[in-house]
Chain A
Amino acid sequence: MLKVALVDDHKLFRKSLAALIGTFEGVEVVYESDSGKDFLSHLKENKNVDIALLDIQMPEMDGYTLCGKVLKVHDSIKVLMISQLSSKETIRHVMQSGAHGFVTKNSEPEQLELAIRNLDTSGFYLGPELGSVLKDLMLYQQGGNEFQPDKDFLSDREKEVIQLICKGKSSAEIAEELFIHQRTVETHRQRMITKVGAKNFIGVIVFALKHNLLDVEDLS
């Protein structure tokens, strides 16, 4: 069973989300709270959470801050931000906070389920919102005399892995498609995260796009 935690101060919405997630097969809600602080102290004692769904606008501690703290306490947890906000700026902040995915509160239930499953299989979720702002995001981040990688900074194999991951394929499926071992796929993934110095795989994608190692069209 995939264990999900919910943190949102809007009680009715949180309850409805718990009910909805409860209908997804193989997924259960193990914790819910209206306070980030309570969630952090829960995590210090129980590590039985695979995926955390965090609201952004909360009193006391907002979702971005909470996300950073959650990952510090428990670095194998996957964070899905869920918010009423959907502007580019919001998504930019979401990416900077180290979260693994983003859905809006207006998303269809199918999209939420897909996000949760993708977080489990590939460690991140690039929804339609995230995809559409990636290009703008790159424009935002351009400029500055930072490190310029070579064209072959990422190998062809690594680029293939990125493309397949972006299509929402699991490591097993990628292994099958590329005729390599599943462990090798995992190694590629980890190596790329370390190589670009990212917090998670979304960072790798942004890096690759930003430095023109990949094209946005490659990802769809």
Chain B
Amino acid sequence: MGQGEEVVSLFYIGTAIMLFLAFGLMFIVVTYQRHFFRMKRKEAENMLRVSLESEKNERARIAADLHDGVSGDLSAIKNYLSVLAKKESVNQTIFDEIKEGVDAALQNTRAVSHNLMPPLLETEGLVPALKNHLNNVGPKAQIEFEVITNGVDQLPPLVAYQLFRVLQELTTNMIKYGNVSKSEINLLLEKDSLKIEISDNGVPFNFKENLAKPNASGLKNITSRLHAIGGTIVQNEEKPKGNQFTITIKNINHA
């Protein structure tokens, strides 16, 4: 019955080959899919990076145009007004109104420009820019901000910019919703990683829960900005009063 055995073994061999081909095909499909997803993710990351970078450049350009151009024009008008007041007899009330108007326009231009691009960030780095910003907003909101650092001046510009925006968002939230009176920001550079601890004494809120809400654009901003520079944010366990966050960026110089 040698023929029957041959058929059986042929059947087994055939099945093995078919199975092998089937698995091989599946393997190829899965690998390709994984590769495809990885490419997609990389592309999305690049897109995020590019769009954040071009946002930064565009903001810087508009801020500079406002600051150098429009402010200069307004200062010029102010000078001419003074010349006018010295030479001609003017209606004092109207003159004062105009002067007040020009001063207000100057201040607004300045505020908009600084908001678009903090003036010290490019030249002096993250910490002076942050301190300057908090000095401006803190007293008005009656919040005592304290910035403690061990010398983090040499951050790559894009990292410094994104961190500034993240810290600005967090502190703006404190001012808007937090009912905060005291806040501390601790920046610690350890070898190649940067750790930022932000704490306040205001109303506690859950970062993750709030992030899931549809209108949490500010918080989404924070996570995507951090993502672009390889950073993470975690909320330290909730306390009855106050909040504490830790931002970590590893490999700071390659972020």
The contact string, 1 if C-beta is below 8 Å from chain A, for chain B 51-85, is 00000000000000001110111011111101100
Asked if residues A10 and B68 are in contact (CB atoms below 8 Å), the reply is: yes
Asked if residues B83 and A19 are in contact (CB atoms below 8 Å), the reply is: yes
A12 contact set on B, CB distance < 8 A: 72-73, 76
Asked if residues A84 and B76 are in contact (CB atoms below 8 Å), the reply is: no
Interface size of B in residues (CB-CB distance below 8 Å): 23
B191 contact set on A, CB distance < 8 A: none
Distance in Å from the Cβ of A9 to the closest Cβ of chain B? 9
Interface of chain A: mostly helix, strand, loop or mixed: helix
Distance in Å from the Cβ of B26 to the closest Cβ of chain A? 63
| A38 on the B face (CB < 8 A) | no
| B93 on the A face (CB < 8 A) | no
Set B82, B119, B123: member contacting A20, Cβ < 8 A? B82
Distance in Å from the Cβ of A88 to the closest Cβ of chain B? 8
Within B177-224, which residues are at the interface with A (CB < 8 Å)? Answer: none
Q: How many A-B residue pairs have CB under 8 A?
A: 57
- Known A10-B68, A23-B86; judge A16-B119 contact (CB<8 A): no
| B137 on the A face (CB < 8 A) | no
B132 contact set on A, CB distance < 8 A: 87
Distance in Å from the Cβ of B75 to the closest Cβ of chain A? 4
In the complex formed, the residue of B with least CB distance to A18 is: B79
Distance in Å from the Cβ of A21 to the closest Cβ of chain B? 9
Asked if residues A23 and B87 are in contact (CB atoms below 8 Å), the reply is: yes
Set B72, B80, B83, B124: member contacting A10, Cβ < 8 A? B72
| B252 on the A face (CB < 8 A) | no
Distance in Å from the Cβ of A92 to the closest Cβ of chain B? 10
B78 contact set on A, CB distance < 8 A: 16, 106
Asked if residues A106 and B106 are in contact (CB atoms below 8 Å), the reply is: yes
- Known A10-B68, A13-B72, A13-B76; judge A85-B119 contact (CB<8 A): yes
B68 contact set on A, CB distance < 8 A: 10, 57, 84
In the complex formed, the residue of A with least CB distance to B83 is: A19
Asked if residues A89 and B123 are in contact (CB atoms below 8 Å), the reply is: yes
27 contacting pairs across A/B (C-beta < 8 A): A10-B68, A10-B69, A12-B72, A12-B73, A12-B76, A13-B73, A13-B75, A16-B76, A17-B76, A19-B79, A19-B80, A20-B79, A20-B80, A20-B82, A23-B82, A23-B83, A57-B68, A84-B68, A84-B72, A84-B75, A87-B119, A87-B132, A89-B123, A105-B71, A105-B72, A105-B75, A106-B75
Interface positions of A (Cβ within 8 A of B): 10, 12-13, 15-17, 19-20, 22-23, 57, 84-85, 87, 89, 105-106, 109
Interface positions of B (Cβ within 8 A of A): 67-69, 71-73, 75-80, 82-83, 86-87, 106, 119-120, 123-124, 128, 132
